Structure 1
Amino acid sequence: MTRSGETRLEVTVVIPARNAAATIDAALLSLIPDRDLIGEILLIDDGSDDRTATKATESAQRYGLPLEVVNVRLGSAGAARNVGIAQAKGKSIFFLDADDELIRGGLSLLYDALERNPGAGLAIGASIRRTRGRPDKLKAPHGYTSDRTENARRYLRNELWPIAMGSALISTAATAAIRFPSAIGLDEDTCYWVAMLARYDAATISAPVLLYHHDEARMAQRFISAPRRTFLAIALELDRLAGLGVDRNALQWRKAWIAQRISRQLIRHKMYADAAAMMRAVRAHKISGRSWKAFQYSARIHFGNLVQGHVPDTRFSRPAPNRGKERRTLVLCYDPAFPPVSGADLRNHGNAVAAAELGSVCLVSIRPQPDPSKPADTRIRTAALTLAGEARTASIGWWRTGAEKRISRAALKRLEAIIRAFEPDSIVVEGIALFKLLRPLRPLAGQLILDMHNVESDLAGQLQGADTTRSTPAAYGVRRLERKALGIVDRAWVCSRLDHDKLAALSRREVPIDIVPNGIPRFEDIAVDLPAEAAMSESFPVILFIGHLGYQPNIDAAGRLARAILPRIQERLPMARLVLAGRYPKPAVKALSGLQGVDLVENPDDLRPLLARAHLSIIPLSAGGGTRIKILEAMAWGIPVIATPLAVEGLDMVDGEEVLLSDTDEGLAGLAIELCLDRMSMARQRARAHESVWSRFGPAAISNAVSAGFGLDDAGT
């Protein structure tokens, strides 16, 4: 009986099962709260020999559930689910694995979401993954848009959380022509979800609807059993998705990622010969094969062979970046990007490191380099266009807006000389602050790219909205400058989907706008495994804020921290200290160091000691654009981040899972106090933040994005 009182078969629950006698009762019990929605439960018993069907029948009778057992011998969960699809009589289908449990009311939430969105083919809810020995992990379905092609592409590239079986409700009409691959036991769900996303809209809810149990040992066994045959079968199924219009580059990326996952397990089990075969498939992909992780895995295989007494195979050394002519890139920025300290130079240096995977890089700054040190990566050279102490010369242009930096004619001449000598294939220019250089560079650059750290017109509007008396460029004038810049360059880079949409709205011509996220800064100095928590000392907690302290949004945030948030924390934790660290602090920031418990570290040479001692990072930004590198770095070090929603804008972070968010000083202080007083919550927050940032903003992800930002994926080279 439905809620309206009319008899109708609403939902068919399909449960594939093989030897699930120990868990089937709990799975069926979890369905009771949503009993009114369930018209039938199809248990597809795939050759069980442990009385699964008997146990299920007894439980269903005890709970009053409409269970039907379908006996098959198919050998795969995908094939069993297909039997359920073929026999389903409900207008929607809910797949539940026999060892998972529906969270109370979860099916009702999914059903209501699907009903409210008649154009959607599926409704997706959050899921809670439970792994023995680890904290529970919440996976929320955020990031879906009305662009079906983009949803499918992002899902394949792991830019959206995987949909757990049992966290989605599917329209029966939508899945009429879509089936699970029956010949594979890995990634068959990915192929199914991508096919659905490529054809239909997805409705999402943030509430958790499923508790699913992740068995790492069983998953590892699937990877190491006949790995080559497994990979080839998955690759074949992925190729078939191209017929649905799914992006081929994303499919190729997925193949390399699967091969790398299999290789990882093979390395763990010391099956180096099979791992080497998988890495050949990884290296066949032009981006994944040049990633840091691919190099790391190949090195482990190499040394594993040495330990086992095998002859090392030189094919597993790091491949040449582009298997052809070296790609040369010039990255032009205002401040020196090496050594990297604050947000802008961290991004510039990170882009240079990623570009170095493709060939030589020249990292050029307008301002002089105070530090004579050079990058350890010999593929990156540095240069400055202004010398310390030299006489001031005339600037380019007779007039400039407040958003532009002054650039001398002498600097332009030096830049032209560097370009003639270096002969770059691409020139990447840092933002509209260097707008005056775009026209002179246009005839010198084979490819001219504008790297928009922020959409400055949007930022100008935020600053003016916050303080109309502040002397900032009018948003309208900055917007005109951005439009002009987009009319000159070949491509533009932005940090996030949010900035992509803002910039695309300004463009009057079809210029490609690529999302090149900010990556984990100085990742090579951070352990991939979760670092140890900072030691407890007389100062607890140590709160760290890193950023360019001459940048107005950071100046405002530092003031909020020192004058409003820290005193509230000290009321409960009197030994709390705040460390402000960054380049070029303005007098307003220097004055904060006189407050109780506030330390200022000006122009730090090495941030690692500060990060290693920090217990928290609080980011109270009230204006800004792009995405915040300081957040990624803190999370990579296992430092919990507490921030305003604006501070994590564009990062797609889940509140309460990866970060803790509040708009108010009182709320930010309260979150910090609560976390510091609960050691279990602190440990859980550290682990969640660390895992999330490495998977989404690690070096491989940035390398892929930079290569795509050069248009290499478009060209297929």
Structure 2
Amino acid sequence: MTADITVVIPARNAAATIEAALSSLLSDKPVIRQILAIDDGSDDRTAEVASESARRLGLPLDVVSIRLGSAGAARNLGIERASGTSIFFLDADDEVMPGSLSLLGSALAGQPRAGLAVGASIRRTKGRPDKLKTPYGYGPDRGQNTRRYLRNELWPIAMGSALVANRATAGIRFPETIGLDEDTCYWAALLARAEVVAIEAPVLLYHHNEERMARRFITAPRKTFLAIARELDSLEAAGVERDALQWRKAWIAQRIARQLIKHRMFADAAGMMRAVMAHKELGRSWKAAQYLARIRFGRLAGFGPAAGSAAPRRTLIVSFDPAYPPASGADLRTFGNAVAAAAIGPVRLASVRPAGSLQPSGLDIRVVSLTTEADKRSHSLGLRRIKGENRIPRPALVRLKALAREFRPDTIVVESIPLFKLLQPLRPLTRRLILDMHNVESDLAAQTPGNAPPAVSPEIRQLERRAAAIVDRIWVCSKLDRERLKAITAHETPVDIVPNGVPRAKRTSEPLPPSPGTSDGFPVILFAGHLGYHPNIDAAERLAGIILPLIRQALPAARLILAGRSPDPAVRILAKLDGVVLIENPDDMGPLLSAAHLCIVPLRIGGGTRIKILEAMASGVPVIATPLAAEGLDLAGGEDLLLSDADEGLADLAVALCSDPARMARLRARAHDTAWSRFGPQAIRDAVRHGLGLDEPSR
């Protein structure tokens, strides 16, 4: 065979696996004309690793670095750029069996009327034996092949197990808006057009990640199902039988329901089962009856672990500042975690500083103050405090111990390293003690210019190590913070990712709100946060003094709203600048977000993850930020938000976006969808539940 195959590899953050994928192609090098690695916005050196591996192996690789946002879009770009007479799609974390491309190419060449050749695949799942999936039952009737394929009467075609004739895929593309079943839609459209030749030899080693697949099902399940259903409906225009499409949609709903039941999301599962029951065949199946019974039982039993389990239910959360009503990012995180924990059992929300008289309504949460104004003159805990530790009056610990003995919490969650001196006294008062690290404080101290002498960061690091030895679990905001913390501590204390969630979710409209008007100027730029916090002060000064003037050169009506509690004197001075408005201690962020056209977050200091970004995205406000500001959120630059390191770059992005209404509308919609699907209430409930140890067997 001549070298006439184009290999298309969509890759996003695949630096750990792409070398193995490329190496597996080496035996088929003589039949490969080109390899297109579509690097879809990776930030882990995927492109560099791929290029170096291909150079070493002598493979004809072209890397296309572009931000697309989906594997379907990356494959479609590969189809457009393919120069070979046939195309082979390979995922960056899978491997081809030796000689597979040659085998598939020979099979395709031997059947001139065939549009694709399909081989067997080996599915490898962690903790399970490998499973061989052999294609069978394909005949010359294209309609029959398509119908049986959609009804699962034929083994699914794994990505990387089929070679497609370039002529056959003309006009056929992968759906770009879904991350589930997009390959099914593509293969079904192809089967409706072209004949298929099957071979029994294994051609692919497919690494199946069950956890990742489950996350795709349970994240915004209704939205996921409707998007897949729309793509399936579009296949009717390609001649696919409607009955087969209806069966597939009901089966997808049942498949999503199965994962929702597994994760005890019974209300969502019931919604999915309504789509299943509407199908006359699947709705009457034994499996449907079984799922409905499990949903009914789960809802009657209530959300939570089975009766008699030793999992924690009563949760005491200790913070320094009062977390209710929430005002700053720390408050929003702490209160959000309390709301999630209240779905499992009663919660006490205790603060070292005096709290107000307000209590949350409709939730099993009670706010408690550990000090009074008179306690400010009391002695504090410990002989000395390092810079970064909070002063804790001795009466606060007395009241906290009394509260713990009365409330008898299964779990105590302590807010971050500044409250380190509470950990050892609380250790004997609960079965599970958790440290919620809003930031990795030693890393944050090292970032902050002039924040402390060089000895401070090592002292904080020592506290973090000691804390890890005391507590049972640690919570962090992001994967990045987990990596930072594990590099610091030598203990095997479990570190759970409990992300910051959409703040004030109950008061925020989940449907995408309309775009704000321009009667009060355009654009209205919002920056919200604790305006007495050094990183926010620095950001506000650059926004008002540098970025806004640059934007106003092109958009003279631009205004900047600085909104937050406890403004520093340096921030108050900014309100005297032209186009800058300061709103101190806003009662409700909703009207400010509704009126904002942009949210610019130019942080160059900070840790954890920025709730202000999630709040803006969830309200449909496009976000422009520095990479540090978006650090840990795993957002797609150019798709979920726009990124630049420089003040001038942030201003240029703002002007360009405001000059392109279509792009602004796309950014609003994408950001809104990402915020609710990945950081909405259900995602936080699941994370807190796992962080409380409720998904683990009782010990």
The one-letter code sitting in structure 2 at the alignment partner of 1:36 is G
1:689 to 668, 671, 678: 671
Structure-1 residue corresponding to 2:337: 351
Q: CA deviation at 1:584?
A: 1.8
The one-letter code sitting in structure 1 at the alignment partner of 2:3 is T
Cα–Cα, structure 1 residues 128 and 409, in superposed 2: closer, same or farther, change >3 Å? Answer: same
The one-letter code sitting in structure 2 at the alignment partner of 1:165 is D
Cα deviation digits, residues 239-288 of structure 1 (max 9, x gap):
xxxxxxxxxxx99339979946724757999x9x999x97995995xxxx
The one-letter code sitting in structure 1 at the alignment partner of 2:183 is M
- Map 1:154-553 to 2 at 5 A: 162=180, 164-165=182-183, 176=203, 193-194=208-209, 215=231, 217=233, 225=247, 252-253=262-263, 259=269, 262-263=272-273, 265=275, 281=291, 319=302, 321-322=304-305, 324=307, 327-369=313-355, 371-463=356-448, 467-468=449-450, 474-553=456-535
SS in 1 for 2:209: helix
Structure-1 residue corresponding to 2:84: 36
**Would the aligned equivalents of 1:40 and 1:68 in 2 still touch at CA under 8 Å?**
no
Give the share of equivalent positions with the same residue, in percent.
43
Structure-2 residue corresponding to 1:664: 646
The one-letter code sitting in structure 1 at the alignment partner of 2:686 is N
Q: CA deviation at 1:222?
A: 7.8
Taking structure 1 as the reference length, the TM-score comes to 0.67
**Would the aligned equivalents of 1:544 and 1:614 in 2 still touch at CA under 8 Å?**
yes
Q: CA deviation at 1:698?
A: 0.7
The one-letter code sitting in structure 1 at the alignment partner of 2:626 is T
Q: Whole-Å Cα distance in 2 between the matches of residues 686 and 619 of structure 1?
A: 16
Structure-2 residue corresponding to 1:118: none
Q: Whole-Å Cα distance in 1 between the matches of residues 201 and 462 of structure 2?
A: 46
Cα deviation digits, residues 109-148 of structure 1 (max 9, x gap):
xxxxxxxxxxxxxxxxxx872xxxxxxx5x8xxxxxxxxx
Structure-2 residue corresponding to 1:52: none
The one-letter code sitting in structure 2 at the alignment partner of 1:643 is A
The one-letter code sitting in structure 1 at the alignment partner of 2:404 is I
SS in 1 for 2:373: coil
Q: Whole-Å Cα distance in 2 between the matches of residues 580 and 320 of structure 1?
A: 41
Q: Whole-Å Cα distance in 1 between the matches of residues 536 and 201 of structure 2?
A: 49
**Would the aligned equivalents of 1:11 and 1:93 in 2 still touch at CA under 8 Å?**
no
- Map 1:534-573 to 2 at 5 A: 534-573=516-555
Taking structure 2 as the reference length, the TM-score comes to 0.69
Q: CA deviation at 1:323?
A: 5.4
Q: Whole-Å Cα distance in 1 between the matches of residues 186 and 607 of structure 2?
A: 34
SS in 2 for 1:402: coil
The one-letter code sitting in structure 2 at the alignment partner of 1:606 is D
Cα–Cα, structure 1 residues 631 and 99, in superposed 2: closer, same or farther, change >3 Å? Answer: farther
Q: CA deviation at 1:351?
A: 0.2
The one-letter code sitting in structure 2 at the alignment partner of 1:419 is A
The one-letter code sitting in structure 1 at the alignment partner of 2:302 is P
SS in 1 for 2:582: strand
Q: CA deviation at 1:551?
A: 1.6
- Map 1:4-23 to 2 at 5 A: 8-10=30-32
The one-letter code sitting in structure 2 at the alignment partner of 1:435 is F
**Would the aligned equivalents of 1:94 and 1:166 in 2 still touch at CA under 8 Å?**
no
- Map 1:595-606 to 2 at 5 A: 595-606=577-588
Q: CA deviation at 1:66?
A: 8.2
**Would the aligned equivalents of 1:342 and 1:546 in 2 still touch at CA under 8 Å?**
no
**Would the aligned equivalents of 2:253 and 2:273 in 1 still touch at CA under 8 Å?**
no
Structure-1 residue corresponding to 2:662: 680
**Would the aligned equivalents of 1:497 and 1:650 in 2 still touch at CA under 8 Å?**
yes
Cα–Cα, structure 1 residues 29 and 476, in superposed 2: closer, same or farther, change >3 Å? Answer: closer
**Would the aligned equivalents of 1:519 and 1:699 in 2 still touch at CA under 8 Å?**
yes
**Would the aligned equivalents of 1:354 and 1:703 in 2 still touch at CA under 8 Å?**
yes
Q: Whole-Å Cα distance in 2 between the matches of residues 460 and 495 of structure 1?
A: 17
Q: CA deviation at 1:626?
A: 0.8
Structure-1 residue corresponding to 2:696: 714
1:614 to 587, 596, 617: 596
Q: Which moved more, 1:545-554 or 1:472-481?
A: 472-481
> Could you list the runs of 5+ residues in structure 2 that have no partner in the other structure?
7-27, 36-74, 90-107, 118-138, 188-198, 214-227, 236-241
**Would the aligned equivalents of 1:260 and 1:279 in 2 still touch at CA under 8 Å?**
no
Structure-2 residue corresponding to 1:71: 140
Q: CA deviation at 1:7?
A: 8.5
Q: Whole-Å Cα distance in 2 between the matches of residues 671 and 349 of structure 1?
A: 34
Q: CA deviation at 1:388?
A: 3.1
Structure-2 residue corresponding to 1:634: 616
Cα–Cα, structure 1 residues 439 and 641, in superposed 2: closer, same or farther, change >3 Å? Answer: same
The one-letter code sitting in structure 1 at the alignment partner of 2:499 is P
Cα–Cα, structure 1 residues 695 and 414, in superposed 2: closer, same or farther, change >3 Å? Answer: same
Q: Whole-Å Cα distance in 2 between the matches of residues 522 and 613 of structure 1?
A: 17
Q: Whole-Å Cα distance in 2 between the matches of residues 487 and 166 of structure 1?
A: 49
SS in 2 for 1:397: coil
